[in-house]
Structure 1
Amino acid sequence: MQVRPASTGEINHLAQVWHDAWHGSHAALAPPELVRLRTLASFRDRLAVMLPGISVAGPAGAPLGFCAIRNDELYQLFVSSQAHGTGIAAALIADAEARLAARGVELAWLACAIGNNRAARFYEKSGWRNAGQFVMMSETSNGPFPVDQWRFEKRLTRSA
């Protein structure tokens, strides 16, 4: 599975992937106020800012998933439901880990919605360890929104 940098022309498509995947996996777990703030436009706006840190997998112009890194964090990882089980998520997480390690990050982390057991199993299968719960200040159009999350961590090694 080839992973590549996202392009500006893919933002609208990625926003739809993110919107659909987030609502499919998080809406039942998140506070209703946060769910209302997670509009298609909000995802589009966030992607435009995050673009330099985003990698995608899937057809050019219509990727099936993406990952974004920020500092020492695997910040976002979302895959279209039609691509579940295809290896795209594994390719994207490997890409994120490699990019973080190349930056010199030794201990990477990610936030996972409490109760998102499918994602938690995937992270554990990928070598990440659940380090407990914390309150993450999630970005919204109304400012930071506190959300209880699981924190997963993984020790990274730099490739030679």
Structure 2
Amino acid sequence: MKHFVGSATETHIEQIFSIWEAGWHEAHAEIVPPSLRDLRTRASFKERALQNVADTYVAVGDDVVLGFCMVKENEVYQMYVSQHARGLGVAQSLMSEAESRIHSNGHHTAWLACAVGNERAARFYEKSGWVNAGKQVVDLDTSAGTFPLEVWRFEKSL
């Protein structure tokens, strides 16, 4: 699908958090603790999307957000593609942009956290040249404070 990747603006927020909420629940609802799932409300995705808009870029086709990615320092913090845009090269475009931004900010190694059990995402990362460096506990941001979760840490030399 023809699309372009560019910086997100507040006009994209509604589409971003809708993609994020749907994608997160699809990929994580069955593999994370119920207490974390309960904290991942529609309002929580909107709040986090607004807080991170400066770190977000979007893939847009026909004036519709097809996916988004958030980069913080050398971390691919979040990346989701809408269900109807999967398999069309959107994820590859977003990941390529993330790697480019991380490298241009002076980092030579990028990393990301993947929920243990999210096999579809793990396959995509490995196909994209990322290496599973093992498990680690990360503190996730939630409306109730931080939530420790064991994840797979993926890394890639840039």
Q: When the two structures are superposed, what TM-score results if normalisation uses the length of structure 2?
A: 0.96
Deviation, 1:29, is 0.7
Whole-Å Cα distance in 2 between the matches of residues 68 and 39 of structure 1?
19
Whole-Å Cα distance in 2 between the matches of residues 127 and 59 of structure 1?
26
| Contact 1:13-1:61 at 8 Å conserved across structures | no
* Residues 1:41 and 2:25 aligned together: no
Whole-Å Cα distance in 2 between the matches of residues 80 and 45 of structure 1?
19
Deviation, 1:72, is 1.1
Per-residue deviation, residues 114-156 of structure 1 (Å, max 9, x unmatched): 0101100000000100000001101000000011100000001
| Contact 1:9-1:61 at 8 Å conserved across structures | no
Give the counterpart letter for 2:14 in structure 1: N
| Contact 2:4-2:61 at 8 Å conserved across structures | no
Q: Mark the CA change 1:61 to 1:34 in structure 2 (over 3 Å): closer, same or farther.
A: farther
CA RMSD of aligned residues (A): 1.0
Whole-Å Cα distance in 2 between the matches of residues 12 and 84 of structure 1?
19
Alignment of 1:67-146 (within 5 A): 67-146=69-148
Deviation, 1:62, is 3.0
Show the counterpart of 1:150.
152
Whole-Å Cα distance in 2 between the matches of residues 29 and 80 of structure 1?
20
Aligned residues: 156
Q: When the two structures are superposed, what TM-score results if normalisation uses the length of structure 1?
A: 0.95
| Contact 1:54-1:69 at 8 Å conserved across structures | yes
Give the counterpart letter for 2:67 in structure 1: G
Whole-Å Cα distance in 2 between the matches of residues 68 and 57 of structure 1?
12
Whole-Å Cα distance in 2 between the matches of residues 56 and 34 of structure 1?
26
Whole-Å Cα distance in 1 between the matches of residues 63 and 49 of structure 2?
15
Q: Where in structure 1 are there 5+ consecutive unaligned residues?
A: none
Q: Which has the higher strand share?
A: 2
Whole-Å Cα distance in 2 between the matches of residues 10 and 69 of structure 1?
16
Q: Where in structure 2 are there 5+ consecutive unaligned residues?
A: none
Give the counterpart letter for 2:121 in structure 1: A
Q: Percent identity?
A: 46
